[in-house]
Structure 1
Amino acid sequence: METAPAPRTVTATPASAVPAARDPEPGAARLAGVVTMVGSGVCNQVGAALGALAFPVLGPVGVVAVRQYVAAIVLMAVARPRLRDFSARQWGPVALLALVFGTMNLSLYTAVDRIGLGLAVTLEFLGPLTIALAAARRRVDAICAVIAGAGVVTLMRPQPSADYLGMGLGLLAAACWAAYILLNRTVGRRVPGAQGSAAAAGLSALVFLPVGVVLVVRQPPTVGAVGYAVAAGVLASAVPYLADMFTLRRVPAQAFGLFMSVNPVLAALVGWVVLGQGLGRIEWAAIGAVVAANAMSMLVPRR
């Protein structure tokens, strides 16, 4: 993943859903930012694909649990939140963020297991795209919404092999990602730095701790499966989080959001190469419609 997402923090979102970047530095610094964006996107989707390889042993719930542990370790180490100093007003949105965070990843990975990486990440991407289009309120954004909606209708068209539960879980992941963006804004206003996100990741990991215990007791996982799950946590959580912190200091937020729209395409390609999940022409056209909607929204100048 977004796809999935991103933990999937506010990093992988369209431009209107991320903090404004500093003035881009010329030359090598800007190039470094672009290269980092590419690497972050590829790592994110490869991590999700590797997590899917552990599904036969751990299942989506087990993989998400391991990913939450890794995310919590990384974010707690980077942000070092002072949990004792948090007030009740700060803990409220942090707890909600933890709930949304866990639900987002669980619904996304379950959707990946049922409908494939490319389609799941495309549906999840509708969350930040909706936030971006709703905030802009321009005529072109209404057109973009229609294009994206046509893509979604195409993906969810009735057919004998359609997995509507998997698609519904993808849309649930999208709703959670949108809520995650909005909650992160609230947490960012009430908790300094990245301490709020780190605390939410830690809470989410605690919620999933019993899952890990049950898995170990009922069926001890193989080393390979745990390795895939840990790789998913590192590549799809830790690397994108740190890479996007670096990127947003070197490229404009608009360029960042534009590149993030390519994630569904990257997810489809990685799903095909790593997992053998091929897509037909209609599915590719639908993914292209969603990507084009976001690209158009980012490229058309704002007044």
Structure 2
Amino acid sequence: MLFNHRAIIARLWPVALLLIAMAAIQSGASLAKTLFPVAGAAGTTSIRLILASLMLLMVFKPWQRHISADAWYSIAIYGVALGVMNFLFYQALHRIPLGIAVAFEFSGPLTVAVIASRRALDLAWVGLAIAGLAILLWPGSDTTGAVNLAGAACALGAGACWALYILFGQKAGAVHGMHSAVLGVTIAAVVVAPTGIWEAGATLIEPRVLAMGAGVAILSTALPYTLEMIALPRLPTATFGTLMSLEPAFGALSGLVFLGQQLGSWQWLAIGAVMTASIGTTLTPGTAQGPADEEPPRPD
């Protein structure tokens, strides 16, 4: 009986860590949105990435490890994609509810999964995801009104960058692991910082902005990165993918609890369609699923 208890705990605690990581990421996004009126979306993106990179650099000290020239190429694209992705996601969050922004952004990893699989069944999952996104864009589909098209476009652009982030992050992380992720975050900060500084200026160094920016950096980057790196090697790929599919729901709930963002029934249905499509691509894989590979931490 004791063995069974230990076995159950061994299976459940990495799942719990991943759920905590998702809750932290979406809570960080909610906190970031409250900073927009003060620092702007670009300024908030910048302060988050700058502080997160400084935290990670101090902990992991990637300069102590030799990085090959080939790895630098992947790390550079990974970092640029990460920076643009965060910038576009916060631009989307400035215009549309958090749960809807995450649902649109999820088109990126879903597309990567489908392209990698190349099975006829995945066309059904793609169709379901497209139907969900179409419902979100349909004018007057619910009492909450039509989704802002510019916000939706920014979220879809963030999804495209997420796809690049996954592809090149896997190449860089396969050799240098977390060191690649830290360097990628640093490059992302360098890419986005000029725009954020131009928009917010000296506001970024005000004590309140620095304190809130540090909170966003911890919740959205430092804490979930750490938890995911502990959980990923202990989870089968299918379990990891299924749990990741809960991200839009976490975003919608976080927006409701922390920001008071009400979604209508059709919008919840659309988010559910995107989640179901993602779960479907995960649970109907073309190859056997072992423990999850070490992937770059998630971006939001």
TM-score (norm. length: structure 2): 0.85
Corresponding residue SS for 1:248? helix
Q: Which residue of 1 aligns with 2:149?
A: 164
CA RMSD in angstroms comes to 2.3
Task: Evaluate the alpha carbon distance shift between residue 295 and residue 156 of structure 1 in structure 2; reply closer, same or farther with a 3 A threshold.
Answer: same
Task: Evaluate the alpha carbon distance shift between residue 94 and residue 302 of structure 1 in structure 2; reply closer, same or farther with a 3 A threshold.
Answer: closer
Mapping of residues 52-201 of structure 1, within 5 Å: 52-82=33-63, 85-159=66-140, 161-189=146-174, 191-201=175-185
Q: Which residue of 2 aligns with 1:4?
A: none
Query: Does structure 1 residue 273 correspond to structure 2 residue 257?
Result: yes
Task: Evaluate the alpha carbon distance shift between residue 178 and residue 205 of structure 1 in structure 2; reply closer, same or farther with a 3 A threshold.
Answer: same
Corresponding residue SS for 1:249? helix
Task: Evaluate the alpha carbon distance shift between residue 80 and residue 279 of structure 1 in structure 2; reply closer, same or farther with a 3 A threshold.
Answer: same
Q: Distance in 1 between matches of 2:119 and 2:200?
A: 52
Q: Distance in 1 between matches of 2:251 and 2:197?
A: 31
Q: Which residue of 2 aligns with 1:237?
A: 221
Q: What code does the residue aligned with 1:170 have?
A: A
1:183 deviates by 0.9
1:231 deviates by 1.3
Q: Which residue of 2 aligns with 1:9?
A: none
Q: Which moved more, 1:82-91 or 1:266-275?
A: 82-91
Task: Evaluate the alpha carbon distance shift between residue 301 and residue 184 of structure 1 in structure 2; reply closer, same or farther with a 3 A threshold.
Answer: closer
Task: Evaluate the alpha carbon distance shift between residue 95 and residue 30 of structure 1 in structure 2; reply closer, same or farther with a 3 A threshold.
Answer: same
Q: What code does the residue aligned with 1:252 have?
A: P
Q: Distance in 2 between matches of 1:55 and 1:164?
A: 19
- Equivalent pairs, count: 278
Q: Deviations over 1:233-270 (max 9, x none)?
A: 11111111111111112221210110110110110011
Task: Evaluate the alpha carbon distance shift between residue 34 and residue 109 of structure 1 in structure 2; reply closer, same or farther with a 3 A threshold.
Answer: same
Task: Evaluate the alpha carbon distance shift between residue 195 and residue 220 of structure 1 in structure 2; reply closer, same or farther with a 3 A threshold.
Answer: closer
Q: Deviations over 1:117-157 (max 9, x none)?
A: 11111111111111112212223222111101110111112
Q: Distance in 1 between matches of 2:273 and 2:238?
A: 19
Q: Which residue of 2 aligns with 1:16?
A: none
Q: Distance in 1 between matches of 2:267 and 2:52?
A: 32
Is the contact made by 2:96 and 2:152 (CA closer than 8 Å) also made in structure 1? yes
The answer to which structure, 1 or 2, has the higher relative contact order (CA under 8 A, 6+ apart) is: 1
Q: Which moved more, 1:70-79 or 1:243-252?
A: 70-79
Runs of 4+ in 1 over 6 A off after TM superposition: none
Q: By percentage of residues, which structure has more helix?
A: 2
Q: What code does the residue aligned with 1:67 have?
A: R
Unmatched 5+ stretches in structure 1: 1-24
TM-score (norm. length: structure 1): 0.84
Identity %: 35
Is the contact made by 2:91 and 2:151 (CA closer than 8 Å) also made in structure 1? yes
Q: Which moved more, 1:36-45 or 1:64-73?
A: 64-73
Q: What code does the residue aligned with 2:225 have?
A: Y
